[in-house]
Structure 1
Amino acid sequence: MMLSRSLVWLLAAAAVQAAKIAVSSPKVTISGKGAGVLQTETLSLTQKSESLTLGPTDTLKLTFQLTEGTPDGKGVQPHQTFLRFYDAASGEEGIQPVRVSSGGKAKFELNMAKPPPSLPPTSDAPLSVSLILGSFVHESAKYELFDLHVPASGTIAPHPDATQFAPQPEITHTFHAPQALPPRPVSAVGTALVFAPWVVLVGLMSRISIPLPNLFSTETLPFTILLGAFEGLLVWYWVGLRIGDVLLYGAVLAVPTVFAGNRALRATGRWRAGKR
């Protein structure tokens, strides 16, 4: 007896589980802003209905009744009820939930003046509208309702950071060719022009008799060498030294140069006093 009762309950549960939700009285209405009802259609669930067209300010209303596929036809509220808008041309889709009351009455509105964000971007191609029902205790169902023509979407303004984070062109580095040395004849002519005035100066000084009796004395020679070191430092700076290095080396040379210069001046003064 207990076994037969359990079997009856299992069969009843299986029947409920296998029961399919029935959709009755599916109806779609298109109304325009300030123009009343423009079109009313009763939909067929066995085959796709004729395509519908919405204007920029039109509103689509879809109503239907959901009942259990049993003789009593009790209203049922599925766990999930939504419409799928699919653009076959672009592959984009949008999902819109449908409000269903506890008694199974369903209602959906689509106002093109304020389209929902989930509506996919549209072009001239129609959107395929499907009704999908999902339930834990009933068999899920999907119905192809109709094709819907809606106004084409406007161009979406690019995000301010879109160009910054978009792929950038490859960075290429252009390196200048190394500086070419001038031909040897040109270098020789330039060197000759640089040293020519010095050759002329030395030649002229050789013709003038300038007595320098104390130039190589022990009191004057250090000062002369230090002055030559300063000249060499300037040449070195011109070739490759930095200004900071020149100032450092110049400060070091300045100390002995001052003392050597004072000593040379005193020696020159004594030499001039003795000559008189």
Structure 2
Amino acid sequence: MGVLRCCLLALLAVHAAALTLQSPRVTVTGPDAAQLFSDSLSVDGPPPTLTLGPDDALKLTFQVVESEGGKGVQPHQAFLRFYDETTGEEGIQPVRVTPGGKAKFELNMSKPPASLPPSSTAPLKVSLLLGSFTHAPAKYTLFDLHVPPSQPAPAHPDEPSFHALPEIQHTFRPEPVLPPRPVSATFAGLVLAPWALLLGLWSQIGPRVPRLFSPHILPFVASLAAFEGLLFWYWVDLRLGEVLLYGGVLSLVTALTGKQALSTIGEWRTGKK
């Protein structure tokens, strides 16, 4: 029990240990490497406000130590957070920390990192986030940073193509109207006229009507009926190209069967059959 209690107490003591910063310092240099600002940071006092020009550079150094004993610690995660309160934009930049807890971060405005959020005239709130499996997490507000406002993104050549286009106004044709009944009846009579002529010819044959159903005559009659069915199908569903294709094949069959039918009728008239 005594050993277990000592282990638990030691574990609680380790988890209770907090991380803090030792000797945090920030330096700002100009384009000619001239030192514009250099001072130590206080993690407890109000954060200072720094300003960077387009060609200025910032250097931040610190050491992560335990609050008790001052031993250098390498946290499992260390990030700098740049946050713009006016726009809500933020950027996270990882910071490399040595096993002894020492860290260095450099920000060059001539080549800003991609993690830097789009900036405005408002300052960026810069804070340090530390995470560890054996210590309590820590967050320290370092300073407020004024950086040059971000330039607007260059317009893509195809950018106008993605704008909303004017709404398309459709103009529908009026509903088709039926032709007058006399006109419809006239054209219906023209369509049925060949069949009326065929029936008239059949009536003149008289007792030889059964011969029309012979194998030499019936294919021709069937091909004529197929033509009528093709026209009806075109009116219901087919397109003009399909009608021309099917009609071309059917006309060949009709021509062959018609020739055979005429030959047979000629033989009937001469008495050969």
Shorter-chain TM band: 0.5 to 0.7
Q: How many Å separate the matches in 2 of 1:100 and 1:51?
A: 25
**Contact kept? 1:237, 1:246, Cα under 8 Å:** no
Superposition map of 1:166-181 within 5 A: 176-181=173-178
Q: How many Å separate the matches in 2 of 1:36 and 1:21?
A: 34
Q: Counterpart amino acid of 2:16? A: A
1:159 offset after TM fit, Å?
8.6
The answer as to 2:184 corresponding to 1:151 is no
Superposition map of 1:33-72 within 5 A: 33-70=31-68, 72=69
* SS of alignment partner, residue 99 of structure 1: coil
Superposition map of 1:186-225 within 5 A: none
- The aligned counterpart of 2:249 is 248
Q: Greater CA deviation, 75-84 or 240-249?
A: 240-249
**Contact kept? 1:65, 1:106, Cα under 8 Å:** yes
Superposition map of 1:70-219 within 5 A: 70=68, 72-156=69-153, 176-182=173-179, 184=180
TM-score, normalised via structure 1 length: 0.63
Q: In the TM superposition, what whole-angstrom CA distance separates every residue of 1:99-156 from its partner, at most 9, and x where no partner exists?
A: 3223332211111222222222222332111112222333322111111122233344
The answer as to 2:24 corresponding to 1:23 is no
Q: How many Å separate the matches in 2 of 1:18 and 1:256?
A: 106
Q: How many Å separate the matches in 2 of 1:166 and 1:107?
A: 46
Q: How many Å separate the matches in 2 of 1:16 and 1:263?
A: 116
* SS of alignment partner, residue 89 of structure 1: coil
1:163 offset after TM fit, Å?
10
> What are the ranges of 5 or more consecutive residues in structure 1 without an aligned counterpart?
196-215, 269-276
Q: Counterpart amino acid of 1:253? A: T
Q: How many Å separate the matches in 2 of 1:152 and 1:83?
A: 20
Q: Counterpart amino acid of 2:122? A: A
* SS of alignment partner, residue 244 of structure 1: helix
* SS of alignment partner, residue 73 of structure 1: coil
Residues matched between the structures, number: 240
What is the RMSD computed on CA atoms of the aligned residues? 5.0
Q: How many Å separate the matches in 2 of 1:109 and 1:48?
A: 22
**Contact kept? 1:237, 1:243, Cα under 8 Å:** no
1:81 offset after TM fit, Å?
2.0
Q: In the TM superposition, what whole-angstrom CA distance separates every residue of 1:67-110 from its partner, at most 9, and x where no partner exists?
A: 3223x533222222221111222323222122322333221111
> What are the ranges of 5 or more consecutive residues in structure 2 without an aligned counterpart?
190-203, 207-211, 213-219
Q: Counterpart amino acid of 2:144? A: D
Q: How many Å separate the matches in 2 of 1:237 and 1:6?
A: 100
**Contact kept? 1:45, 1:144, Cα under 8 Å:** yes
Q: How many Å separate the matches in 2 of 1:12 and 1:140?
A: 19
* SS of alignment partner, residue 86 of structure 1: strand
Q: Counterpart amino acid of 1:98? A: V
Q: CA 1:259/1:60 → structure 2, altered by over 3 Å: closer, same or farther?
A: same
Of the two, which has the highest radius of gyration?
A: 1
Q: CA 1:256/1:133 → structure 2, altered by over 3 Å: closer, same or farther?
A: closer
**Contact kept? 1:27, 1:64, Cα under 8 Å:** yes
* SS of alignment partner, residue 25 of structure 1: strand
Q: How many Å separate the matches in 2 of 1:169 and 1:178?
A: 27
Q: Greater CA deviation, 40-49 or 11-20?
A: 11-20
